Amino acid sequence: MPKPENIEPHKFKKGQSGNPNGRPRKYVSHLRELGYKLSEINDTIQVMMAMDMEELKSVWDNPKATVLEKTIAAAIRKSIEKGSLYSLETLLTRVYGKPRENADVKTEMTIRLIDDDDTPTEAARSTDTGAE
C-alpha cells in the first residue's frame, strides 16, 4: 500500500486542473473561427492532399499563402514527419466522409408453433444477413 508521504507531493493542488491546456483544437474548428467557410476548407484540403512534396513545400514557404493553406500544409507535413496518419485521416474524413462499414450478422431463433389442438411444436431457423 502506498505511503501517504509519497502521495502528497504528487496530488493536484485545490483548483488546479490536471490538464491545463485541455484537448487540442481540431484544424477545422480553428479555421472556422478565423472566418473560413466549410466549402472553402474542404476544397483547399482536397487540392492540397493531391499535391506532391515539392508543391506542399512551396505552399508552406510562400509568405503570401493564406492561413487556411498554411494550416492544412502544416497538418499534412506534421503527419508525414511523425509517420502518423491521424492528421491525414482527419482531413480526408472531413472532405470525403468516413468509409462505409459492413458487418455480417448471424442470428438463431426458435419459433413456437401452436397447432389447432394446442400442442406446441418448435422450429429452429438460422438466418445469415449481411448489413449493407
Please give the Cα distance from 6 to 50 (Å, whole number): 54
Which amino acid appears at position 116 of this protein? D
Cell numbers describing residue 66: 493564406
128 has pLDDT over 60 = no
DSSP output for 14-75: TT--SSTT-SPPPHHHHHHHTT--HHHHHHHHHHHHT--HHHHHHHHH-TT--HHHHHHHHH
pLDDT at site 119: 62
- Cβ–Cβ < 8 Å for 114, 120: yes
| Per-residue exposure over 8-29, b if at least 16 CB sit within 10 Å of its own CB, e if not | eeeeeeeeeeeeeeeeeeebbe
- Flag whether the pTM goes above 0.95: no
pLDDT digits (tens, 9 = 90+) for 102-127: 888 888 888 777 777 666 565 555 55
In this prediction, residues 79-97 reach a mean pLDDT of 81
Q: What is the pLDDT of residues 8-62, one digit of tens each?
A: 777 777 777 777 777 766 767 777 888 888 888 888 888 888 888 888 889 888 9
